[in-house]
Amino acid sequence: MKKIYNSINLEKLKNIIDEQEVQNKPVAYDLLEELVFMKETMEELKATVQLHGATYIFRQGEQEYLKENPAMKSYNATVTKYNATIKQLLSLMPVSTNEKDAFMEFVTSD
């Protein structure tokens, strides 16, 4: 892992999972690693879209039309998977309201 983002700090989340009664800790750790990877990937894709735009003019012979940037398509697919992975991770967390609220606050904080 190259970098750890403020919104998903893998080490801090691992500590939270270690301290709580998480249903399946190895799965939770794997999900955290995937989340970090997806976040890094989304940052790269976002930079590509910001640099080159969400669409481009596709030319083939005399025809030309507006086409979605493949990086935009990948970004959208990754965001969907990212959100599903977060939901899956949260489903492993204990039901206790205080602990879940603290976890959610941590995950969503900047």
* Burial call 50-61: b when 16+ CB within 10 Å, e when fewer: eeeeeeeeeeee
Q: Which two tokens stand for residue 88?
A: 């899956």
pLDDT tens digits along 24-39:
888 988 998 899 899 9
pTM: 0.70
Rounded distance, CA 36 to CA 59, Å?
36
Contact 32, 89 (CB under 8 A): yes
DSSP state of 54: S
Nearest to 45 by CA among 71, 7, 14, 19: 71
All structural domains of the chain with their residue ranges: 25-93
Q: Which two tokens stand for residue 53?
A: 């735009």
pLDDT tens digits along 13-70:
777 788 887 778 889 889 988 998 999 999 999 999 999 999 999 999 999 999 999 9
